[in-house]
Homo-oligomer: A and B are copies of this chain.
Amino acid sequence: VASRLKDWVAIESDSTDPEKRHLVINMMLLAEERIRKLGGTVEMVDLDMQELPNGNKISLPPVILANIVKDPKKPTVCFYGHMDVQPAKIEDGWSTEPYILTEKNGKCASDDKGQVLAVLNAIEALQKHELPVNVKILLEGMEEVGSIGLNTLVKQRNSTFFSDVDYIVVTDSAWLSNKPGITYGTRGICYFFVEIECAKRDLHSGSFGGILHEAMNDLIFLLDTLVDSSGHILIPGIYEAVAPLTEKEKKLYEGIEYDLDQIMAKYGLEEFRNKTKEELLMQRSRYPSLSIHGIEGAFSAPGAKTVIPAKVTGKFSIRLVPNMEPSVVEKQVTDYLNKKFTELNSPNSIKVASDTGSKPWLSDINEPQYLAARKAIKRVFGKEADMIRAGGTIPIATHFQEVTRKSIMLLGIGGPDDASHGQDEKISRYFLLIFLKIINMLI
């Protein structure tokens, strides 16, 4: 069984690199073969071509839509996962070759091949007696670059493939500690680009320093009006839509295992803004936050360069929580920045743009599949599952919910220190084994 994961990890199915697209396709074929061996019927759905930034078009990997459906009376669970990975090189600081599965201390690839294979292995094990549910599987190969083409496909198949699906389980998530957890919500996001232009070409600070309104000054001023030193977002109205905290919800944070000291030590943090675990988890789960990511167009290389950049674009994003609406936040931010900019009396031009926002997602933890998963976890571990709301965004969850209106649950088995997208990404063998039990008790 471990050799299956080894074979899967060996394929460099990096969806970000067009030159490795054939490897992503190979990976999909390998997954197809595995599902057929489980007796599933597999449809390999071809998507439209992908247009690259240079205008060239290349094939998208097919999406797998599979059925292991036996009994129309049984409920149907659809598992979602992805077969693509982010770029990884040994030079990035991995301690072993990233595409050679290495077993270390009982650990061995979490985002997302390991989790998908765990589901398939669990199905295989359960088939020896009788599969307690009908299973459908949706696997894609473009998740790491925004699930290109998937949204359209989900809409197209909503009344066919999804019609008899009762529950959708997304395998692409992680626990907060070694204690199993179920993710029932994620924050959304609005990503902003604020561009200031002061000249049509870069200028030398010797010749031009002091005599013009430099774009960097205007941009730094604007970026400095976004949050105060306590992290509070200064854009008017931003907190208005935030769902009020109920006592019931508050209680959920108390039971969650989350070791602040361990996280601080791991990432080299001096301190968190929040003094208690509960406050921290709430800030991360159910309150918005604003992060400034960087500036495009300014001098960013090592060394010293005396340039006055002509056009600079500040980039920041706001994490959204229920009941914030991307379109409302976009308007609030744009209006605020434009208003602040007029205060500067600058002759420069400003452009505020945003990526298509992603809504926050929240499920009811008392839906049947949640109750089943919580019961299964309690039976295996003897304790309540952590009910988690992820700070990040899993757009596919939002999309599944909006299009299919089915019950969605994020039942990942990624450990908290699996370092998704990071050096030495791994998956714990221990987690792989227990997943089997959870699936068995799901219904």
Contacts and interface: CB of A to CB of B under 8 A. Distances in A.
A35 B209 CA distance: 38
Interface stretch (A26-34, A57-65, A193-201, A361-369): A193-201
A274 to B, nearest CB: 6
A255 interface: no
Residue picked from A207, A211, A290, A296, most chain B C-beta under 10 Å: A211
Nearest to A272: B211
A309 B293 contact: yes
Contacts of A187: 206
Nearest to A214: B291
A391 to B, nearest CB: 5
A132 interface: no
A209 B319 contact: yes
Contact of A319 (B206, B229, B344): B206
Interface in A199-240: 199-201, 203-214, 216-217, 220-221, 223-224, 227, 229, 231
Count copies of this chain in the complex: 2
A149 interface: no
Contact of A207 (B198, B305, B347, B391): B391
A212 B273 contact: yes
A106 interface: no
A159 B209 CA distance: 38
Nearest to A292: B216
Interface stretch (A73-81, A245-253, A279-287): A279-287
B211 A283 contact: yes
A269 B198 contact: yes
Contacts of A203: 267
A243 to B, nearest CB: 16
Contacts of A309: 293-294
A7 to B, nearest CB: 29
A347 B291 contact: no
A302 interface: yes
A222 to B, nearest CB: 9
A210 B267 contact: no
A50 interface: no
A307 interface: yes
A308 interface: yes
A264 to B, nearest CB: 9
B201 A267 contact: yes
10 contacts: A187-B206, A193-B304, A200-B267, A200-B268, A201-B422, A211-B284, A212-B273, A220-B292, A229-B344, A294-B300
Interface of A: 187, 189, 191, 193, 198-201, 203-214, 216-217, 220-221, 223-224, 227, 229, 231, 267-274, 280, 283-284, 287-296, 298-302, 304-310, 315, 317, 319, 344-349, 355, 390-393, 421-422
